[in-house]
Amino acid sequence: MGRTGNLWPLLVALATLARLSESKLKLKVSQSPVEVIYNENSLLLCEISELTGATLESKNLGVLWTVTRGTEASTAFSYTSGDVQEAWPEAEILESSILNGNMSLLLRHVTFKHTGQYKCEVVIPPNNKASQTVKLEVLARPTVTVVSEKVVEVGTGGEMALGCHLSGYYPCESNAEWFQSIPSQEERKLLTDICIAPTVKNPDGTCNVTTEVRLEPHVEDIGSTFECLVTHKTFSEPYLVQASVTLKEAEIRLSTSSIVGSVIASIIISIALTALVIFLYLRFCYKVAPKVSEIQRPVKLIHQELAEFVCQVSGYRPNVITVSWYLKRCNETKEKLIADWQVDDLFHFQFITDKKMERNADTSETGMKWKVKAANVRKNNDGTFSISSILEVYPDFDVDNSAQITCKVMHPSEREGILRTIRLQIDGVPPKLANIIKPPVVHHNNSVTLTCPINFFKPHPLKITWYKIIDGEKIYLVEHNNGAEENFYQDKYSHYLVPFSYPDHTLSVCSMLLFHATIQEDENSQYSCEVGHISLSNPAEKHVQLNVKAYPSLNAIISEPGNPVIGEQLTLTCKVHSFYPKNITVRWLKNDDVIMNTESPEIVNSENELYECTSLCTITATLSDLHSKYKCQVLHESLMYPRFTEYTPESLVSFPKVSEITCNHATPELERELTLTCKIIDFYPEDIQVEWFRNEVRCDDVKYGRIMETSLCENGLYSKVSTVTLTASADDHQAEYRIEVYHSKSSTKPFKQFYQLFLKGSPKFSEFRLEPESPLYGQPLSVSTSVCEIPHDNITVEWYKASERIKGVTNSKPVLNSENTYKINSCLKFTVTAEDFERDLHFQYKDNSNTDVPVFKRRIQLPLTAVTPKVSEIKCSHDHPKKGENATLTCRIEHFCPADIHIIWSKGWTEYKDKQSIETPKIDSKGLYSTVTRLPIVAIEGSSEYICEVQHAKTNDIIEKMFVLNV
């Protein structure tokens, strides 16, 4: 579409701003459609109805009228910047009118080519642009011509015709009616015996039609006028045209030739009477034997279809005759009468009365619906008679094939009767095979039905064979032969027949082969249905090719890692398997947007000729994925709709970042408050547990400082600041503070940070060193430590066990080192005993010259284990005490640690808590505790069982010893 003048696009470009703001230019056009009569002028209104913020100036104004007819568009008028760029010769707008805001288009002598959709576009750059459309329809008035005779004579029994011809009109809907105005009647009468010729189209699209009326005028109609009434869109009211026909009375003329005619007629009658006498003589005195033709039969006899056999009997006289029809079937010995037909017309004047004596055998011997049609006796010119006897037959293939039909004619001139015989040869109608119906998609491991439609045949015997072609060889599957069926692969194939029968004994059958299709057996296989029938010289066949498809199955999406970490790579794996054929498209979608499309991913041919593939999608997990749905979508030709599996990263985590512990003072000082701070940031989800430890002891009360936590959530990630505030004491020097952060969603192990407190100006204590590292009871042990960064040598170091000062300590002399501070080593040697179990050793440091420096105490507990006592057998002071004699039972309990034991003597249900005695445990040679327990007894007759039970609380051990005393 050539927008003209090159200026228009520029104007439009300038006015594009108009779209941004509401245009202040509004147009008013004619109401659509504008209808105009062919060859008249048409005005398409287009006026500016509203314009604000601009004035109309010729150099800043564009007007464009375009017309669309069907899909074609053209320019009717264009005006830009004061010039008419293009215009149809018949189109006109005055420039003065344009500048008045009147863009109405005048079209002169409109023709059908002007029909279309007109668009009036007005552009006033830079802000105003508007357009409106209006439809123009061109109409054409019909030219009405009335055709008639000038004068019509009434009363002659003739007809008259009136035509009303409409031509060259548009649109093609119209109506024409004929009315008759009779002088004697007030009302005009609508004539209904009309004939409307089909509407014809002229090359210019207009139409012609003719409405004709026929009538037989009578004398009363004389003086009538006839009018054609035309209705059409172009007429505001119906248009009337009168026919210029005059009805007038016919003149009556008498003929003289009629007298001559009657004389001739009487002569003829007398000759006819003579002829009649001769005729009657011939009619009753001569017998002429009939001639009987061979039986005429149809070219083909179709099973259960009406067939006519004709026996022509001619040239006999008198008209007395019997025609009998007989049937003899193959398996029958006697002929049976089907029907007979008789005329006995000897005493009737047939040519006068036209009556017949006929007899039809109502009950035939065959009992079939076969019948003999009533035949017309024809009289020949020579006075003889002829008849055609017609036997109507419905032959049945099963019983009537090769049967014999006989026509027997009996006439008075023949004693024996004349016989004509014919043998029946019955045909069927061959079946028509339609294409085998198969499902649109055959699915692997699903059942399939192939339907072979066998249509419109008769008679019913049919042989249906299904076979499959493998490597060019026919493999027979099912053979159905008129009810008898053989299935060669019963475990795979089933066969069904669905029959339909029609009233005319035509049959149709759907032969259905049902089986389980698999790719291995049926992909690309060819199945055939072969049908044999008596009316087919060769069996008819249809073939079908199967293409088996297998649906893809999708496993659940696997994510690696299982708990995706925000900001880290996440690989999603989608396994698609068991599909066929190979072509597949795997798509990854995030919230229904495709993020990855793989047309044919790497395919693995797994078992059973089915394919599988694995698609990976690697993404960087972000916080927004918490609400995202990832889909692995599969498109495959076996699927009507894509299949998919979904994955939502619900278990998304973000590891906490645990900062180093900081102290608000660079060098913490004694007796000053200090705060340890640890920031735990960017973790998700929110659940987190923070614990502080001081030298392996959990800080759960204020003893070691106040714990405070503040939580924060930013961009969905959580943060926490945990602080411990404490006032440092001498004990805190060199104390190790530890924070443990448990974020069970992201890690099973805690995140840890450490901070060791060093108080300003305090000496540094080394760790205690044990020699040997694991002390043993009864063995010597040396415990040593050292202190450095001591400002001077006026100090004292001492060791304490509980609160008891230990002697025998070896201290080195304070040694001055390069930093001008002193270092001292101290070593404690002793033999380890059970008393040292769970007892603290203190190392104490004291500055003798500066009382402001506190006494530092360092503590150690030896890593000793509890030892279970060894209990000896019970001994009695007398070997064989006599009845009533006193004796003592003794039991030794040795080598245990700690000393805490519980002893119970008993006999039967009796306990001897008050009588028993226990010695205080003492350290023995092995450095462990040993003791002895005794129970005084009085021997009684018979046998007594004494039990000593020793419970050691620390080890939870219970040891029992038994003694039997026989007196």
Q: Which residues bind ligand NAG (CB under 6 A)?
A: 43, 47, 97, 102, 104, 106, 167, 200, 202, 208
CB of 239 to ligand NAG, least distance (A): 16
CB of 395 to ligand NAG, least distance (A): 56
Residue with Cβ nearer ligand NAG (168 or 642): 168
Q: Are 775 and 832 in contact (CB under 8 A)?
A: yes
Residue with Cβ nearer ligand NAG (163 or 552): 163
CB of 143 to ligand NAG, least distance (A): 7
The SS3 assignment for 11 reads helix
Q: Which of the 8 DSSP states describes residue 704?
A: G
CB of 233 to ligand NAG, least distance (A): 18
Q: Taking the CB of residue 226, how many other CB atoms lie within 10 A of it? A: 24
Alpha-helical (H) ranges within 53-168 are 95-99
Residue with Cβ nearer ligand NAG (102 or 645): 102
Residue with Cβ nearer ligand NAG (101 or 383): 101
Across the strands, what pairs with 678? 722
Residue with Cβ nearer ligand NAG (206 or 224): 206
Q: Which residues of 510-538 are buried (b: 16+ CB within 10 A; e: fewer)?
A: bbbbebebbbeebbebebbbbbbbbbeee
Judge if the upstream peptide bond of residue 503 is cis by omega within 30 degrees of 0: no
Residue with Cβ nearer ligand NAG (106 or 940): 106
Residue with tokens 């080890």: 955
Angstrom distance (rounded) from CA 578 to CA 587:
17
Residue with Cβ nearer ligand NAG (47 or 847): 47
Q: What is the DSSP string of 358-378?
A: EEE-SS-TT-SS-EEEPPPPE
Amino acid identity of residue 754, one-letter, is F
CB of 198 to ligand NAG, least distance (A): 11
CB of 11 to ligand NAG, least distance (A): 22
Residue with Cβ nearer ligand NAG (44 or 757): 44
Angstrom distance (rounded) from CA 891 to CA 771:
37
CB of 16 to ligand NAG, least distance (A): 29
CB of 140 to ligand NAG, least distance (A): 12
CB of 202 to ligand NAG, least distance (A): 5
Residue with Cβ nearer ligand NAG (167 or 518): 167
> DSSP 3-state helix, strand, coil percentages of the chain (rounded to 5)?
10, 50, 40
Sign of the dihedral defined by the CA atoms of residues 323, 329, 332, 333, in that order: positive
Residue with Cβ nearer ligand NAG (127 or 206): 206
CB of 449 to ligand NAG, least distance (A): 57
CB of 259 to ligand NAG, least distance (A): 53
The SS3 assignment for 502 reads coil
Helices (H) and strands (E) in the chain, counts: 7, 83
Q: Are 736 and 694 in contact (CB under 8 A)?
A: yes
Angstrom distance (rounded) from CA 227 to CA 162:
10
CB of 589 to ligand NAG, least distance (A): 59
CB of 117 to ligand NAG, least distance (A): 21
- The token pair at 936 is 């005084």
Residue with Cβ nearer ligand NAG (66 or 208): 208
Residue with Cβ nearer ligand NAG (204 or 873): 204
Q: Which residues of 560-570 are buried (b: 16+ CB within 10 A; e: fewer)?
A: eeeebbbeeeb
The SS3 assignment for 248 reads strand
CA atoms within 13 A on the CB side of 943: 4
- The token pair at 59 is 């150099």
Q: Are 275 and 252 in contact (CB under 8 A)?
A: no
Residue with Cβ nearer ligand NAG (167 or 844): 167
CA 162 to centroid of chain Cα atoms:
67
Residue with Cβ nearer ligand NAG (97 or 553): 97
Sign of the dihedral defined by the CA atoms of residues 191, 192, 195, 201, in that order: positive
Residue with Cβ nearer ligand NAG (200 or 276): 200
E strand residue ranges, 715-768: 717-727, 736-742, 751-756, 764-765
Indicate the residue whose CB is closest to ligand NAG: 167
Q: Which residues does 339 contact at the CB level (< 8 Å), separation at least 6?
A: 324, 325, 360, 361, 364, 370, 371, 372, 391
Residue with Cβ nearer ligand NAG (180 or 208): 208
Q: Which of the 8 DSSP states describes residue 295?
A: P
CB of 208 to ligand NAG, least distance (A): 4
Residue with tokens 């008209």: 319
CB of 39 to ligand NAG, least distance (A): 16
Angstrom distance (rounded) from CA 634 to CA 641:
9
Angstrom distance (rounded) from CA 412 to CA 415:
7
CB of 207 to ligand NAG, least distance (A): 8
Q: Which residues does 463 contact at the CB level (< 8 Å), separation at least 6?
A: 479, 480, 481, 482, 531, 532, 533, 539
Residue with tokens 């015989």: 421
The distance between the two most distant Cα atoms of the chain, rounded to a whole number of Å, is 196
Residue with tokens 């064979």: 465
Q: Which residues does 684 contact at the CB level (< 8 Å), separation at least 6?
A: 566, 623, 652, 653, 654, 716, 717, 718, 745
Residue with Cβ nearer ligand NAG (102 or 553): 102
CB of 136 to ligand NAG, least distance (A): 16
Sign of the dihedral defined by the CA atoms of residues 758, 759, 764, 765, in that order: negative
Q: Are 573 and 614 in contact (CB under 8 A)?
A: yes
Q: Are 960 and 891 in contact (CB under 8 A)?
A: no
Residue with Cβ nearer ligand NAG (60 or 208): 208
CB of 258 to ligand NAG, least distance (A): 48
